[in-house]
Amino acid sequence: MNSPLLLMAPLYPATQQELETRYRCHRLWEAADPAQLLARIGADCRVAVTNGGRGIEAATMERLPALQLVANFGVGVDALDLNWCRAHGVAVTNTPDVLTDDVADLALALLLAAVRRIPAGDRFVREGRWLKGGMGLTPSLQGRRVGIVGLGRIGRAIAQRCLAFNTAIGYCGPRRKSDVDWHYADSVVALAQWADVLIAACPGGPGTYRLISREALQTLGPDGVFVNIARGSVVDQSALVELLLSGALGAAGLDVFDDEPQVPAELFALDKVVLQPHQGSATHHSRAAMGQLVLDNVAAWAAGRPLLTPV
């Protein structure tokens, strides 16, 4: 491929290096004048590569009239304007499956850390407080029911792990699954009525905006636990903070937030809340595999072969 390739944001270094070795890449985020860069390469640029956080908006794509492929480094495509791509015949690829296990592992880590107060215990030891007496008891995961909002690739991997912890499994989502006999609820509130723990594993974007409402969180109640490895947009974040502060919700493990990297400071003092800086797929293992999929999709497109993971 001789035409220029637009990089929207920094990628996993090995992937970015390989793209820059293979293709004529232009880094949008480093351009002194991004509009000028787009004007310069727009007529020829057929491929843009972005990541799940940056995405690509219609205003940028409108300046790339030759664009044919947007390759997303990440499975979630809520930050890119999919409707615009579909309306303009621009193909989109993402990186499913290869990150599923790492994200599901983090969901379980957050669940256990929040329920068993692991960061608080760690601080207790480091600060020498154990020398003055024991830490006290914590809630337990045993006997709990876990409700998964979105039983897709990651949701199923979370369910498999929860089974090993002896929890009952329930889920909600647009399509009831015929291959599992877990409890199905036809709404998030109905799932919260059945469950003690809600884990968000659905996509972000307008279709799931604030899907996990104040009512759902209130329904989980003072012993309830909420885990989010999906997107900040899927939950009513102000209600979440308010209910955690008041004790109306028991605990939370959060990897994703509205307006990242901003995190509501009120959460910092709460031992029952465990926070992560959007680390779901942030392992060398997943990022290398995601990068390979991006490279393979771009190479397939350039060679006129079918895309590996079209969205």
Question: What are the catalytic residues?
Answer: 231, 260, 278
Only one of the segments 6-14, 40-48, 123-131, 143-151 lies at the binding site for ligand NAP (rule: CB under 6 A); that segment is: 143-151
Query: Under the criterion CB under 6 A, does residue 229 sit at the interface with ligand NAP?
Result: yes
Only one of the segments 120-128, 207-215, 219-227, 237-245 lies at the binding site for ligand NAP (rule: CB under 6 A); that segment is: 207-215
Considering only 54, 63, 161, 231, the residue that binds ligand NAP (CB under 6 A) is: 231
Spatial CB neighbours of 165, under 8 Å, sequence gap ≥ 6: 108, 141
Residue pair 284/98 in contact by the 8 Å Cβ criterion: no
Q: Which helix (H) or strand (E) holds 287?
A: helix 284-302
As a whole number of angstroms, the distance between CA 247 and CA 273 comes to 12
As a whole number of angstroms, the distance between CA 302 and CA 164 comes to 44
Cα-based torsion angle of the residue sequence 116, 216, 170, 152 in order, rounded to the nearest 10 degrees: -100
Query: Under the criterion CB under 6 A, does residue 153 sit at the interface with ligand NAP?
Result: yes
Residue pair 89/83 in contact by the 8 Å Cβ criterion: no
Draw the binding track, 255-274, toward ligand NAP (x: CB under 6 A; -: no contact): xx------------------
Cα-based torsion angle of the residue sequence 61, 64, 69, 73 in order, rounded to the nearest 10 degrees: -60
Query: Under the criterion CB under 6 A, does residue 19 sit at the interface with ligand NAP?
Result: no
Closest CA to 189 of 167, 165, 170: 170
Considering only 4, 42, 96, 224, the residue that binds ligand NAP (CB under 6 A) is: 96
CB of 179 to ligand NAP, least distance (A): 11
Considering only 72, 208, 219, 309, the residue that binds ligand NAP (CB under 6 A) is: 208
CB of 202 to ligand NAP, least distance (A): 4
Contacting residues toward ligand NAP, per CB under 6 A: 75-76, 96, 99, 103, 149-155, 172-175, 201-204, 207-208, 211, 229-231, 255-256, 278, 280-281
